[in-house]
Amino acid sequence: MSNDHKSLREEAYEANIEIPRRNLAIYTWGNVSAFDPDKGVFAIKPSGITYDNLRPEDMPVIDLEGKIVYGKLKPSSDTETHRILYREFIYRSFGGKVAMKGITHTHSVYAAAFAQAKRAVPVFGTTHADHSAEEIPCTEFMSEEAVKNNYEFETGRLIIETFIRQNKNLITMPMVLVAGHGPFTWGKNAAESLYHAVVLEEICKMAHLSLSLKPDLEALPEYLIRKHWERKHGPNAYYGQKQ
């Protein structure tokens, strides 16, 4: 059993230990998972273990019904949020292609501040537009009934419902703020979900500093947003070495 899901666990491990290196969370306050769509399982941080004490062999692996298929440690208390997000993505993905194979949750301070203030983050600059052409959404508070049901599962549902209501696409908007809580981000693998968590924190820091200079600041003109998004992500993208 010890080699089961080895590369998946290693991928999740590598992304988790980036959390403190990138100052996204202290102690145990963040978790990353890595998803294997062929086997329908994901590896995730064990609950309450500090990053210094993590080992790839200790990462629990969970299937989409919530059953632990590898590992002796209890998975992150946020596991149900990851599970519902993966399950929904699979059901909602187009052409059989699974777009999201990594999820990151942190308590990074600037993103948490926007989440606590229940404010979406408009596209104030090109740093934001380089990663998404849209305002980063913030959910409403979860209802009392939902909290009493299955809180972590409902957190995932709240995110998905926010995206549906706001007509957002999980591929072009890989970040969300959960009201009163903090950020969740995702990506094509665990490392990219972590990358988006770092990007979100930097965007939120710039937005916070900008709002302090100009409290009624408006979003960039749409044509500038579109240009930055397209040059990195559009059909004729020309950023980076291979597109």
For a second copy, the binding residue among 116, 168, 191, 234 (CB under 8 A) is 116
Residues listed for the chain: 243
Distance CA 111, CA 113 (A): 5
Query: Which CB atom, from 141 or from 172, has the smaller least distance to a second copy?
Result: 141
Please indicate whether residue 151 is annotated as part of the active site: no
Query: Which CB atom, from 90 or from 109, has the smaller least distance to a second copy?
Result: 109
> Helices H, strands E: what count in the chain?
7, 7
**Which of 113, 82, 85 shows the shortest CA–CA distance to 182?**
113
Three-class DSSP category at 85? helix
Collect all residues with Cβ–Cβ distance below 8 Å to 41 and sequence separation of at least 6: 5, 8, 35, 61, 62, 63, 64, 69, 70
Examine residue 211 and tell whether it contacts a second copy (CB under 8 A): yes
Examine residue 220 and tell whether it contacts a second copy (CB under 8 A): yes
Query: Which CB atom, from 96 or from 240, has the smaller least distance to a second copy?
Result: 240
Query: Given 36, 58, 63, 130, which residue is catalytic?
Result: 130
Examine residue 24 and tell whether it contacts a second copy (CB under 8 A): no
Collect all residues with Cβ–Cβ distance below 8 Å to 91 and sequence separation of at least 6: none
Which residues sit at the interface with a second copy, rule CB under 8 A? 26-27, 29, 46-49, 73-74, 77, 107, 109-110, 112-119, 124-127, 141-142, 144, 147-148, 151, 180-182, 195, 198, 202, 205-214, 217, 220-221, 223-224, 227, 231, 238-241
